[in-house]
Structure 1
């Protein structure tokens, strides 16, 4: 079963070599060229946990979803929002849009050193800040995804330890279910636990890479994982990850292992285009992760954090 998220995973065929480039491919090539030539002006950030275990990538019927990575597991549970004297059940957040929103919110929290993040005077304003299209379909989808994200509960399990990892404490914008405009700037307030651990364990990301991969939740997940993992590899000979490891971490949405492998490899090509310093060798049964430079130089990371001081 091919993943059917908001992105394009699994939808590309072999095609004609002389066929026009898709919009997604052209975008990746454009950003890959820029990334190869210049460093980012300043980084984006995401919590280390969410770089290892992410949200669902496609719509899920149930109200609970679990993502595993080794002995770590992230449990995402759908919540409810109170509006017009009614509790409204929300679905589980999924796809690229809530991922990009979490990156933006986390980045602003790290830069401003505050758990309270202003998200603009309207939903359109917030979407423009993230770099998401504001047409009618994107608007409706993003609105629904933001409600789902703000209401959901996240719990991290590690070994025999259970940690409350819910990211959003308060959501005070785009509340009216009838779609009426907000009259004042909205805010999202992170929970104290999430904010404090974010400041201590924020993974720097190249915003241009995120922009290039914005159409694929799987590519975004692979990129953030490699950004967290590769520069931590200490052994010169590298660390091995098997296809079983990768399927456990990234493949819950797939019933066919071969389908997952094909889609992962295709997404990895896009990721490596915008993370050219990523070093990994494909071997029988999986990959060898090799010591690599992070996607954002340490000098730029330090400068970004000093800027927010």
Structure 2
């Protein structure tokens, strides 16, 4: 009579499964139970193969596409939480800052949308040497990211005064940038934009053909900087800032929620950040389908394009990138413009917000 064939346990490789195998060895139904361990090992191997294939695919992508793919996968695996929420003033979701750096002698910039205009005037800040230093107009994705960070900190801390030094470097890293200093470092570039924002003045104008209204304010009322002693980092480094009372009071009523993971996905592009903020603003307001013409879209996002067809091609590409992260976004580009449909906040990965009910006089 032939002796039973020895059980081949070479297919079980993971340490925890090997330990479990040894505990079962010599016991009843050893072969049957060991087969279940082999099945578990095979499932793990398949999962690892899929994960490794995804990792190779991600590695082969350009950086910005990789960011979008990672964030979309995160949204599929993990529902948005309150911890993902950040805020930006809704006015800044409608009228944005310049996309490109302006020459230092350009001291004003206007952005129009419908019957609203945002005018940004560049300013100066005092240096530790006692001189006024002209600041450029804030521009690009870093200025927008900083505004989101500052608005979020003011909302989180429930205070117009923000301690910058303790949060700023971590914020830069969270956005996917390195925190290197020096004249060419990302951290220095962020701080230069913070200085520009601290020095600038905003004017918001609205009109209806019969009357007009102008609101002027400095977003930041007080700003403290110090000059680093490091010869390689001789930029002005921020310490604290205080929002103007007008800005802070307005922010408390008009803080618009955004998802920080989505912001990180678009952190390399000023126009994509504007598109994301603007879509969040628009979708929050509408309760029926809305059509926006190409003329209005060009007015909003067409800075830097001399030909309409170039702008239309670029906007279609960038909206496609937004949809990569938010595949359920209810938008459609047509020959006439953009169609929007009402949608729940979850299409933009925003968690459901609790609505506080106002108390009646009898309940107070």
TM-score grouping bracket, smaller chain normalisation: 0.7 to 0.9
Paired position in structure 2 for 1:40? 81
Paired position in structure 1 for 2:98? 56
Paired position in structure 1 for 2:196? 148
Q: 1: distance between equivalents of 2:95 and 2:351?
A: 24
Q: 2: distance between equivalents of 1:148 and 1:130?
A: 20
Paired position in structure 2 for 1:279? 330
Identify if the C-alpha distance between structure 1 residues 239 and 122 changes in structure 2 by more than 3 Å, giving closer, same or farther.
closer
Instruction: Say whether 1:70 aligns with 2:70.
Output: no
* Alignment counterpart, residue 28 of structure 1, candidates 60, 68, 76: 68
Counterparts of 1:129-140 in structure 2, within 5 Å, are 131-136=176-181, 137-140=185-188
Q: Answer yes or no: is the 8 Å Cα contact 1:169–1:188 preserved in 2.
A: yes
Q: 1: distance between equivalents of 2:262 and 2:171?
A: 20
Q: CA deviation at 1:140?
A: 2.9
Secondary structure at the aligned position of 1:30 is classed as: helix
Paired position in structure 2 for 1:203? 256
Paired position in structure 2 for 1:234? 287
TM-score, normalised by the number of residues in structure 2: 0.72
Counterparts of 1:270-309 in structure 2, within 5 Å, are 270-294=321-345, 295=348, 296-299=350-353
Q: Answer yes or no: is the 8 Å Cα contact 1:65–1:75 preserved in 2.
A: yes
Instruction: Say whether 1:118 aligns with 2:163.
Output: yes
Instruction: Say whether 1:264 aligns with 2:312.
Output: no
Paired position in structure 2 for 1:81? 125
Q: 2: distance between equivalents of 1:126 and 1:93?
A: 18
Q: 2: distance between equivalents of 1:132 and 1:166?
A: 28
For structure 1, which segment, 168-177 or 67-76, has the greater mean C-alpha deviation from structure 2 after superposition?
A: 168-177
Q: 2: distance between equivalents of 1:181 and 1:53?
A: 29
Q: CA deviation at 1:108?
A: 1.1
Q: 1: distance between equivalents of 2:318 and 2:274?
A: 10
Identify if the C-alpha distance between structure 1 residues 39 and 127 changes in structure 2 by more than 3 Å, giving closer, same or farther.
closer
Q: 2: distance between equivalents of 1:98 and 1:26?
A: 23
Q: 1: distance between equivalents of 2:65 and 2:188?
A: 25
Paired position in structure 1 for 2:33? none
Aligned residues: 283
Q: CA deviation at 1:215?
A: 0.5
TM-score, normalised by the number of residues in structure 1: 0.84
| Poorly superposed stretches of 4+, deviation over 6 Å | none
Q: CA deviation at 1:200?
A: 0.4
Q: CA deviation at 1:130?
A: 5.2
Paired position in structure 1 for 2:221? 169
CA RMSD of aligned residues (A): 2.6
Q: Answer yes or no: is the 8 Å Cα contact 2:149–2:171 preserved in 1.
A: no
Q: 1 or 2, which has the higher helix percentage?
A: 2
Q: 1: distance between equivalents of 2:58 and 2:228?
A: 49
Q: Larger Cα Rg: Structure 1 or Structure 2? A: 2
Q: 1: distance between equivalents of 2:227 and 2:247?
A: 23
**Bigger relative contact order (CA 8 A; separation at least 6):** 1
Gaps of 5+ in 1: 1-16, 303-309
Secondary structure at the aligned position of 2:204 is classed as: strand
Kindly provide the CA deviation profile for residues 9-30 of structure 1, in whole angstroms up to 9, marking residues without a partner as x.
xxxxxxxx99931011011101
Q: CA deviation at 1:143?
A: 2.3
